[in-house]
Amino acid sequence: MVGCARRAPQYEWMVPRAWYNILPDLGGALPPYLRPDGEPVRPRDLEVLFARELVRQEFSQERWIPIPSEVREIYLTWRPTPLVRARRLEEALRTPARIYYKYEGVSPPGSHKPNTAVAQVYYAAREGAGRVTTETGAGQWGSAVAFAGSLFRVKATVYMTRSSYLQKPYRRVLMELWGAEVVPSPSDRTEAGRKFLSEDPNHPGSLGIAISEAIEDAVRSGARYVLGSVLNFVLMHQTVIGLEALEQIRYFDDYPDYVVGCVGGGSSFSGLFWPFYYEKRAGKAERDVKFIAVEPAAVPSMTMGEYTYDFGDTAGLTPLIKMYTVGHTYKPPPIHAGGLRYHGCAPTLSLLVSRGEVGAVAYRQGEVFEAARLFAQHEGIVPAPESAHAVKAAVDIALEAKREGRPVTILINMSGHGLLDLQAYDEYLRGALADVVPTAEELAAHLARVRELIRGKGVR
Ligand SMILES: *Cc1c(COP(=O)(O)O)cnc(C)c1O
């Protein structure tokens, strides 16, 4: 392997050799994951599901975790990813702000997701697994797992939310091309799936339900489960994004005032901002950088939800996780940013939001697509509907900077391209985009159920 580089040496050095782990730098312990009986989850509880090395990483207090050479070798197919200054967008906005985007859409599946899929499937294969199971919303995560499965000859079974399965056939094709089996969720393969199907035979599904199905399948069959977001090890694998960006932005003689990313579970955003957070805490940041998490108004966990213990999935099979949530019983409207249709968000991100160290904003689908069109017209790249949330936030910050005459620097995560989401763009262009958001009463009802659930477990 050594000596037969995949990328020319001028690129190769920039790809990190270790992932950054934020846990030792949080200034306190993360609230523990809890079992249904209220007792803390022990590592061996998670080993029923995940590769042992991933469980070790989940609780590790080491700041730097070496990237296996087999994984880094594959990263070099598309990494380092470009960091681009959006000069034409800046000009269009007539803003003194400088806007940079880190473009993760150049990976084979078209998003940041293979950064962790490749690592997770590698560890599963190394520990002898012949099959992995997982869920997918828009199909981005499923295609990343299918891609990783093809690299290590591991069979992938992907439970795909029914609304996306129907709306986004090309992602299913991509997964099948890479050899995965794709099952629309809820399905009749699992007890959890059958329960939701019996309530509604045309159930659109949700990430939470698909997670329940993938977990049930893995536990019953002994396959390894792989997860696209939320847990510490997933976010850690994504730090290759921010570690590269740290090096790259210095070539511009610049440093961000704002680091902005969309949040479904929070992995791509964390992957970008954690290394900047590390510099800030270590007193090495060149500016007082702010971190802005952007979520859809249709699933407003950070801006309208509660910071409390809740299940990670809809059927209640996962441990209880302390996080911002709109309640695991909430049924997200079928917005096109399928990757953001998740009721909770990562526990590390939730902790930082609760302390005010990360800010959160929410946008509606219509205004997000408008910003995406502006971006496509000036920068060429068609953002994934998820990534477009970060674009919208950047545009707003840049316009505010213009009003205030402040030449701030904004770094956004362009977590994926939208070339397999053109159906959604078509609806936007034809004015046919639905823009459903929950009412405060609706959210209050779901959160009351969460409170009822955790009462009696002695959980705070
Ligand atoms: C899945 C996905 C997201 C949301 O997931 P995070 O874990 O919050 O990053 C964002 N952007 C794209 C392109 C995705 O595929």
What CATH number is given to the structural domain containing 122?
3.40.50.1100
Flag whether 56 is in a domain. Answer: yes
Cβ(111) to ligand 1 under 6 A? yes
Show the tokens assigned to 431: 């004015």
Flag whether 431 is in a domain. Answer: yes
Going by CA atoms, what residue is nearest to atom 1 of ligand 1?
339
Q: Give the residue from 186, 208, 232 where a domain finishes.
A: 232
Are 227 and 361 contained in the same domain? no
Are 336 and 190 contained in the same domain? no
Are 49 and 100 contained in the same domain? no
Distance 404 CA to ligand 1 centre (A): 32
Are 55 and 164 contained in the same domain? yes
Instruction: Kindly compute the dihedral angle of the four CA atoms of residues 11, 104, 20, 354, in this order, to the nearest 10 degrees.
Output: 150
Whole domain around residue 293: which residue ranges?
80-110+242-455
Residues 6+ apart with CB under 8 A from 388: 262, 337, 368, 369, 371, 372, 375, 418
Cβ(387) to ligand 1 under 6 A? yes
Q: Give the residue from 202, 232, 262 where a domain finishes.
A: 232
Distance 113 CA to ligand 1 centre (A): 7
- Location of structure tokens 């970008």: 272
Divide the 460 residues of the chain into consecutive groups of 10 and give the mean pLDDT of each group: 66 94 96 91 95 98 98 96 98 98 98 98 97 92 98 97 87 96 96 94 86 93 95 98 97 97 97 98 94 97 97 86 96 86 95 98 98 98 98 98 98 97 95 92 94 76
Q: Which atom of ligand 1 is nearest to the CA of 138?
A: 15
Q: How far apart are CA 113 and CA 141, in angstroms?
A: 6
- What is the best residue among 102, 104, 111 to mutate for testing ligand 1's pocket, by most ligand atoms within 8 Å of CB? 111
Flag whether 9 is in a domain. Answer: no
Name the DSSP class of 33: P
Flag whether 183 is in a domain. Answer: yes
Are 303 and 369 contained in the same domain? yes
Question: Shortest CA distance to 317 belongs to which of 225, 415, 402?
Answer: 225
Flag whether 2 is in a domain. Answer: no
pLDDT tens, residue by residue, 299-327: 999 999 999 999 988 878 889 999 999 99
Question: Shortest CA distance to 366 belongs to which of 313, 434, 449?
Answer: 434
Handedness of CA 2, 6, 9, 10 (dihedral sign): negative
Tally of domains in the chain: 2
What's the confidence (pLDDT) of residue 5? 66
Q: How far apart are CA 402 and CA 400, in angstroms?
A: 5
| pTM of the shown model | 0.96
Show the tokens assigned to 99: 């806007």
Cβ(164) to ligand 1 under 6 A? no
Cβ(383) to ligand 1 under 6 A? no
Residue 185, φ and ψ in degrees, nearest 5: -120, 140
C-beta neighbour count of 427 within 10 angstroms: 16
pLDDT tens, residue by residue, 370-420: 999 999 999 999 999 999 999 999 999 999 999 999 999 999 999 999 999
Flag whether 1 is in a domain. Answer: no
Are 208 and 293 contained in the same domain? no
For residue 27, count CB atoms less than 10 angstroms from its CB and return exposed for 0-12, middle for 13-18, buried for 19 or more: exposed
Are 127 and 258 contained in the same domain? no
Are 288 and 152 contained in the same domain? no
Flag whether 327 is in a domain. Answer: yes
> How far apart, in Å, are the Cα atoms of 150 and each of 5, 142, 312, 318?
21, 12, 28, 28
Cβ(265) to ligand 1 under 6 A? yes
Are 119 and 18 contained in the same domain? yes
Distance 61 CA to ligand 1 centre (A): 25
Flag whether 460 is in a domain. Answer: no
Distance 455 CA to ligand 1 centre (A): 32
Q: Which atom of ligand 1 is nearest to the CA of 229?
A: 7
What's the confidence (pLDDT) of residue 11? 84
Are 369 and 300 contained in the same domain? yes
Q: Give the residue from 192, 212, 232 where a domain finishes.
A: 232
Are 158 and 293 contained in the same domain? no
Are 26 and 119 contained in the same domain? yes
